[in-house]
Chain A
Amino acid sequence: MKNTTTKKWIISLSMVAILPACVTINIYFPAAAAEKAADKIIDEVWQLKQGQDAPADKPVEPTPADAPTDAPAK
């Protein structure tokens, strides 16, 4: 009886020791977290804010004023 109890304890202890170790080694790519992070960055870059459907850039034809400033100027 006493023997089995000790055995059980040894097994459980070793599991406790091994389980986290296993997971620490196998860090998989956290897809959901990555999507959340990507969304946050895209919202910032495209300046998309909740409850504000029309962002700064309306669909307009490019005009010289919109044109990149680093075009050959002279």
Chain B
Amino acid sequence: MLLRAIFACLLALAQNAFAVSTISISADTITNDNAVVRSANILVDLKAQTTYTIKAQHIQYDKLEARNANVFLDYRGKPTLTFDTDLKQSSDKAWAKAQMHCLVPANLMQEVWQCNDGKFTAERINLPFALEVTPQPKGFAANINLQSANFSDEAGLHAAEKLTGHLTVVAKQEGDTLHFNSALNWQSGEVFWQPLYFANGGHELQAAGSLKGDILTLDNATLKLDKVGDLKFSGQVDTKTFKIQKLNADLPNLNLAEAYPLLFKPFLGKTMLNNAELDGKAALNVSVVDSQIKTFKISLKDANIDDKNHKFAFYNVNADIPWSYDAATKVSFSYNNGQLLNMPLGRTNIGAEVNRYSLVSPSIELPILDGAFKLSDISAAYINDNWYWHLRAALTPVSMPDASRAFKLPTMQGKASAEIPLVTYSGGILTTDGEMVLNVFDGTATVSQLTMQNPLGDSPKLSADLVLRNLDMGSLTRTFSFGAIEGKLDGDVLGLELLNWKPVKMDAKLQSSPGNYLKKISQRAVENISSLGGAGAAAAVQRSVLRFFKEFNYEKMGLSCILRNNVCEMSGIESTPGGYVIVKGSGIPAITVLGYNQTVGWSELVDRIKRVIEGNTKLIVK
């Protein structure tokens, strides 16, 4: 108000006082509403045509501060307005510089103000811009061009380089409502907005809506992401609390190959999906009311998901997943083929009914190799950001030769099948009740008490009890090239814990099964068993008379290992002073193999076993 009064006074002076050529007005402090101007100086030069120079040392407006402000109004030719100032928010330490040069139109309130050479610079900001503003009744139309702008925050987590773009805004005040229609065209330049990175421009945003109080209403908005897809949305948001009161968003055609690295991957940080390759199409539709998702629908069309760590892959995925807060929906998910931890998966169709946060399905069949994993009575619930589910599972016989090929193991004979009455998943841990029975090597391997933690994650954990009964050592030793042993093997591996699929803890005991059967051990096997206990023992066999015999009878054999902290505490079928018996011979010639190493480093033991197996393989090759 005060400023206006001064201007009125100046104009009056200019018209009446002929003898005056310059007028200078100084003020220590000018206060107007919440603006405070200190050390202001206005100089009016009346020679020829008029120029106005307005200087202010310090201006405070709300939370905005300016210093060394210069405004120069020049009416000598075409009227121009030039201003420059230092600018900052009161809370900031560093000052930014702003400058602009405008052509003042003859009709201030109706014609275009053209401003060029606009520049906003600060320590990490350089925004050159050009501006065109046309005042309109109760509003304005503005055109802003950004030319090769750079900005960054202090840590560099939100930054842009060589950003060139164009923004048009048309705004109009009607009562207490501001109506706007804006279009943002990001032409080129790269942007990193933690965690998203856009290498290039070519994206557009159009939005029309209104602002009333704190409520922003978007009547229709379109975000066009180059090569990725178009997102149409409308809704209402409280700009103070960022609460979404209403939102409808539709993404009818999303290109997964482009969208995955750009939009999904940055958010999938440590999940199992963070290093995959995707292609195919997806569609997404969401509606939100009062910050609560009311309905959504995700569709996948011929999508391929391929984990680059080769932990899983699904090909030709088609999915139709509708969801509603209020009503139950039927979802379907299918894939043609794929693999899970190297286990080939056959064509699968999954159907389920979803009711708000729970899911039920009577049965799902996952074909695996020549058998199938049959899940039934499935129910799952999502409670407090955690999944809980339980189901019954059965594995119809899978032939072991195929399975061992899939897992890159020596070819094993037999069939594996399982019946698990209850599988539960809760708090990230998968637990099974019941047993999985694998019929291998003419005997049985029973897995029970199986629990798993993030099997597809970075450090999968597994614990289980494994019981082996009556395994045929003949075919076992042939399969693993260990030197021939005839007989049957029992084993108890209790409290087995695997981390990253490597044993870290177990109480393991392997021994010949009780009963009467052919018990023979070859000299090679004796040597191999001996060399597991370190060098020396094997050499002793070589040097002794026993080397004349190809095989020996045994009465009993066994070896056990209690694994803790990477150290295996070894023992045999019985202990002797300072050692233990691994093989107890019988008949003539009888041989007894003794072990003396009570503790062996686990990795050392694994290396020894590997060397034995590899060494023997080489022998066979010769």
Cα A71 to Cα B190 in complex, Å, equals 14
Cα A74 to Cα B257 in complex, Å, equals 9
Taking CB atoms, residues of chain B closer than 8 Å to A73 are: 261
Cα A73 to Cα B199 in complex, Å, equals 10
User: Quick check: B275 and A72 within 8 Å, CB to CB?
Assistant: no
Could you give, for residues 256-274 of chain B, a 1 whenever the CB lies within 8 Å of some chain A CB and a 0 otherwise?
A: 0110011001100000000
Chain A, residue nearest B258 (CB) = A74
Chain B residues in the interface with A (C-beta under 8 A): 197, 199, 257-258, 261-262, 265-266, 275
Closest Cβ of chain B: how far from A74's Cβ, in Å?
A: 5
Q: What are 7 of the A-B contact pairs (CB < 8 Å)?
A: A70-B275, A71-B197, A72-B197, A72-B199, A72-B262, A73-B261, A74-B257
Chain B, residue nearest A70 (CB) = B275
With A71-B197, A72-B199 given, name 10 new contacts (CB 8 A).
A70-B275, A72-B197, A72-B261, A72-B262, A72-B265, A72-B266, A73-B261, A74-B257, A74-B258, A74-B261
Number of A residues whose C-beta is below 8 Å from B?
5
Cα A73 to Cα B257 in complex, Å, equals 11
Cα A74 to Cα B308 in complex, Å, equals 15
Cα A71 to Cα B257 in complex, Å, equals 15
Chain B, residue nearest A72 (CB) = B261
Closest Cβ of chain A: how far from B504's Cβ, in Å?
A: 18
Taking CB atoms, residues of chain A closer than 8 Å to B197 are: 71-72
Cα A72 to Cα B258 in complex, Å, equals 10
Taking CB atoms, residues of chain B closer than 8 Å to A71 are: 197
Q: 3 smallest A-B Cβ distances: which pairs?
A: A72-B261, A74-B261, A72-B197
Taking CB atoms, residues of chain A closer than 8 Å to B258 are: 74
Taking CB atoms, residues of chain A closer than 8 Å to B199 are: 72
Taking CB atoms, residues of chain B closer than 8 Å to A72 are: 197, 199, 261-262, 265-266
User: Which residues 57-74 of A have a CB within 8 angstroms of B?
Assistant: 70-74
Taking CB atoms, residues of chain B closer than 8 Å to A74 are: 257-258, 261
Chain B, residue nearest A73 (CB) = B261
Cα A73 to Cα B265 in complex, Å, equals 11
Cα A17 to Cα B197 in complex, Å, equals 68
Could you give, for residues 38-74 of chain A, a 1 whenever the CB lies within 8 Å of some chain B CB and a 0 otherwise?
A: 0000000000000000000000000000000011111
Closest Cβ of chain A: how far from B187's Cβ, in Å?
A: 21
Chain B, residue nearest A74 (CB) = B261
Taking CB atoms, residues of chain A closer than 8 Å to B261 are: 72-74
Closest Cβ of chain B: how far from A35's Cβ, in Å?
A: 21
